[in-house]
Structure 1
Amino acid sequence: MFQQSSRISGGSTSHAASPSSTIELRSSPTSVPLNPSDNSGCRTRKRKPTANTWAHAREPQESEPARCPRKNEKIYYCMHCRDPTSSTTVSTTFRRHLLKIHGIELVAHDHPIKKRRDSLIQDVFAKAGEAALEALMQLVTVRNLSYNCSSWPELHALICAVNYTAEDLISLSHGSIQKLVSNSYCVHKDILRRKLQSSPSKLHLSADVWSAPNHKAFLGICAKFVDMDAKETMQALLALSELPGLDGPGSHGGAEQWKLLQHVLEDYNIWNKIGFYTGDNHGSNDKLCRLLSEHLRGKGISWEAKKQRIRCHGHVINLAVQAFLFMDSKEAARAALEQIESDDAVAYGSDFAERVKAQQALGWRRLGPLGKVHNISVHIPCPTPLWVTPPFG
């Protein structure tokens, strides 16, 4: 507690001394020696004064003790008190005195150990919160949940049952999950971009057109590469872009696919690492590879469309089986197989596919009611252009 003392006028102490001036301390019967060697067997720990608190303290004057006799703690005197003077060794008491007597409010600094403790706790909760949000995003995307799942009371009840301190982990806003998923996509895409650019191998691309149940067409572009860190072969989906139909509604033309592929390659900046390209035997893929070769040639990169184009073997087998099933004569089937074996991909691309489709519909109709049921089941998930075909006769 504060010690207040009144001085007799005419004493040897001057009250006008500046707190910043250096005052020579003299020994007194009540003062404790400042030399540690004089205090045998008593080891004291030096404490650094708190700047904002002890800035209002002054050094002891001639007859004032510098340290407490019992604990050998340094005594600080209030520079604002003249008669009587006030002194203490406790920072909390000193701040209370400044606030109560002089109206000076000081903010106490936390102890370093307390600061470190609070920092560790915050880091642990921050990491746990990030992991929980990442798990939530994985749940929404992998299980195809609705974005408004953040407002499900059952989900909040489950999270609070696991950890009651996570009550405010999920925002109740419907757009919060969508924003988190979008941000996570950008982060993971940047990680994939760095993996592709640092891969020690070439990047082998594969692409195919996929039709959704809502009759929208998408171009899926994948890449196979060797991961620099894991030293193993990996496969990644680079993009699943919607075909805009520049050549007509639902068009799958090579020029249209090339526009999407070009944007993806520019986004990932992997022009100089392209290896082989795998696609089905449709003529549009040959056109796409020719456009890719011309574009890379303009960048000074050699890429041969015919040499580095890999055809889909399963698609070749599929065309051969369709020729045997749906061609109306052996001569037509033999001619179709000769076209498949030839090197001209366009010859058995779009033209042959159209002939096979016509013969396929006719062949199944010859089976009677079973053929009609087959045609109905095939046309239910078909793309939009096929809805304009004639009735199933």
Structure 2
Amino acid sequence: MSTTPNLLNEAPSPASAFDRLRQTKTISEQLEEAKDHPTPDNPTFNTVYRFRINNKIYVLEETLWRKGQRGRTSWINQHGWFFVHCHDNQPGASFWACRHCDLKSRVTLFDAKASSSASDHLRKIHRITKASESTDSETSSDAPLKRPRLDFTGLTKKRVKTIQESTVGLIVDANLPFGIFQNNYFQSLIGQLNTQVSTLPWSRHTLNRSLEDLFAEKREEVKRELTTAATRIHLGFDLWTSSNRHAIMAVTAHFLVKDKGPQVRLIALRHQLGAHDGENLASTLDEVITEWEIRGNIGVVVSDNASSNDTCLQSLYSRINPRMTEKDKKSRRLRCFGHILNLVSKAFLFGKDADSFERQSDAYRLLQQDEEDLRHWRKQGPIGKLHNIVKFIRSSPQRTQRFKRIAREEKASQPGDFLLSHETQREVELILDKLQDGTQPI
């Protein structure tokens, strides 16, 4: 007999103290790992994947079925798995494991000689009976079975994939933890809606793996879009510092697709290591362009007005096409209109050196020198006066309450509250927004 990997045919070693303390993997999690070890064409007891359940070794019964074999047709098959105990490396008794208990990280095994114990368990604990099974499920159980999938749930592959994509999308879009779907209330809700969906693996490991698989799949789709675009690929990039002090560069691709119109794709979001000088930024952009295989199809690049970005794009276009003239390099460097408008607005509100004005105000605030800060703002005319009025109202809970009372008496449609943010520019924007809509009389 040919040798097989240790994972499949070696008896497990005695559990160490660390193993005893570590949380054991659920059956669903082990089924996910089993996907990396496909069932052989001619499976035997010593060549199929083995599961550790309650510190004992089992083999999934269906992996031992011969090709075209009918297998078990009991209705409890939709709510659990049948395992064969491995005793002295030989097949032993068969057991049924409850899928619903496994979702709650509990192990419930019943002797598979009869289905009565498992049926009673489903009825008493999970309120599931044979009568509640759908007609479709009963009909499908009578059809000849092909070799079963390890993750068989009674759902089609297409539907399982759609559910997984929606699940991963919810986690990413709502910034949820991977363990949210193991919540007992969520499992109860899904079980009430569709028992087949509730039997899908919802563990952290499964969802993490689904996210990685989906990312790789969508990445290839975006790459195909970029390579078949009807226009050149125009890029936009920007840098900022995250709350945990990481420098981040984001890169977006802008292009046209036939019959779909303008498209925008985020193609990079990565740490910017080292200094933020032009050459270093160009190296990061060059890596992104090479990674997406679009070096020969780059159009213009949009960024803000920082001088380092001028140097960056000079260097980048020289790397892409050493023959490009200085005139062409400059014509392909576009400046962000939003950034220009922001600079104009700040200059209009705070003068030529807006950054210096903000730093001085922040310093007064940090030192709690309120009178100096008020005088500092009075120099800004109407905007400064407006700022000081808001600061006066916000400096005391009693004044804030009085302001709200007066606003209600004046029958303001939305007697809200004025805000003072830590960022001076944003602070003034919030004030102006509230005054402009006419709901904040003073």
Pick the TM interval, shorter chain. Answer: 0.5 to 0.7
- Give per-residue Cα distances to partners, 1:34-89, cap 9 Å, x unaligned: xxxxxxxxxxxxxxxxxxxxxxxxxxxxxxxxxxxxxxxxxxxxxxxxxxxxxxxx
CA distance in structure 1 between the partners assigned to 2:338 and 2:287 by the alignment: 28
Q: Secondary structure at the match of 1:215?
A: coil
Task: Report the residue type matching 1:236 in the other structure.
Answer: R
Change beyond 3 A, Cα 1:375–1:293: farther
The partner residue of 2:172 within 131, 141, 156 is: 141
Residue of structure 1 in register with 2:296 after alignment = 272
- Does 2:290 correspond to 1:260? no
Contact 2:358 2:424 in 1 (8 A): no
CA distance in structure 1 between the partners assigned to 2:355 and 2:161 by the alignment: 52
* CA-CA distance at 1:216 after TM superposition: 2.5
Residue of structure 2 in register with 1:241 after alignment = 270
CA distance in structure 2 between the partners assigned to 1:380 and 1:167 by the alignment: 50
Which structure has greater helix proportion? 2
Change beyond 3 A, Cα 1:108–1:223: closer
Change beyond 3 A, Cα 1:125–1:119: farther
CA distance in structure 1 between the partners assigned to 2:350 and 2:198 by the alignment: 63
Residue of structure 1 in register with 2:197 after alignment = 166
1:1-393 matches, within 5 Å, as 118=145, 125-172=156-203, 174-228=204-258, 230-244=259-273, 246-247=274-275, 252-298=276-322, 304-327=328-351, 333=352, 356-362=354-360, 365=373, 366-367=376-377, 370=387, 377-378=422-423
- Give per-residue Cα distances to partners, 1:281-329, cap 9 Å, x unaligned: 111111111111110124x7789320111112232232233334334xx
- Give per-residue Cα distances to partners, 1:186-221, cap 9 Å, x unaligned: 110111001101111111111111332333231111
* CA-CA distance at 1:379 after TM superposition: 8.1
Task: Report the residue type matching 1:127 in the other structure.
Answer: K
Structure 1 runs not aligned, ≥5 long: 1-106, 328-332, 334-354, 382-393
CA distance in structure 2 between the partners assigned to 1:143 and 1:296 by the alignment: 38
Task: Report the residue type matching 1:162 in the other structure.
Answer: L
Contact 1:193 1:268 in 2 (8 A): yes
CA-atom RMSD in angstroms = 3.6
Structure 2 runs not aligned, ≥5 long: 1-65, 71-139, 363-372, 379-383, 392-418, 427-442
Change beyond 3 A, Cα 1:284–1:124: same
CA distance in structure 1 between the partners assigned to 2:145 and 2:324 by the alignment: 56
* CA-CA distance at 1:279 after TM superposition: 0.8
Contact 1:281 1:312 in 2 (8 A): yes
Change beyond 3 A, Cα 1:109–1:207: closer
Contact 1:255 1:287 in 2 (8 A): yes
Change beyond 3 A, Cα 1:151–1:144: same
Q: Secondary structure at the match of 1:367?
A: helix
CA distance in structure 1 between the partners assigned to 2:211 and 2:425 by the alignment: 32
Q: Secondary structure at the match of 2:423?
A: helix
Task: Report the residue type matching 2:156 in the other structure.
Answer: F
Q: Secondary structure at the match of 1:305?
A: helix
CA distance in structure 2 between the partners assigned to 1:214 and 1:380 by the alignment: 22
* CA-CA distance at 1:271 after TM superposition: 0.7
Change beyond 3 A, Cα 1:243–1:380: farther
Task: Show structure 1 runs of 4+ deviating over 6 A.
Answer: 113-116, 120-123, 300-303, 371-376
The higher radius of gyration belongs to 1
Change beyond 3 A, Cα 1:323–1:147: same
Contact 2:68 2:147 in 1 (8 A): no
Task: Report the residue type matching 1:175 in the other structure.
Answer: H
CA distance in structure 2 between the partners assigned to 1:115 and 1:243 by the alignment: 59
Percent of residue pairs identical:
20
Contact 1:276 1:310 in 2 (8 A): yes
Q: Secondary structure at the match of 2:339?
A: helix
CA distance in structure 1 between the partners assigned to 2:165 and 2:355 by the alignment: 47
CA distance in structure 2 between the partners assigned to 1:127 and 1:375 by the alignment: 51
Contact 2:68 2:144 in 1 (8 A): no
Q: Secondary structure at the match of 1:315?
A: helix
Contact 1:281 1:316 in 2 (8 A): yes
Change beyond 3 A, Cα 1:376–1:149: closer
* CA-CA distance at 1:236 after TM superposition: 0.7
CA distance in structure 2 between the partners assigned to 1:267 and 1:218 by the alignment: 18
Q: Secondary structure at the match of 1:306?
A: helix
CA distance in structure 2 between the partners assigned to 1:380 and 1:313 by the alignment: 18
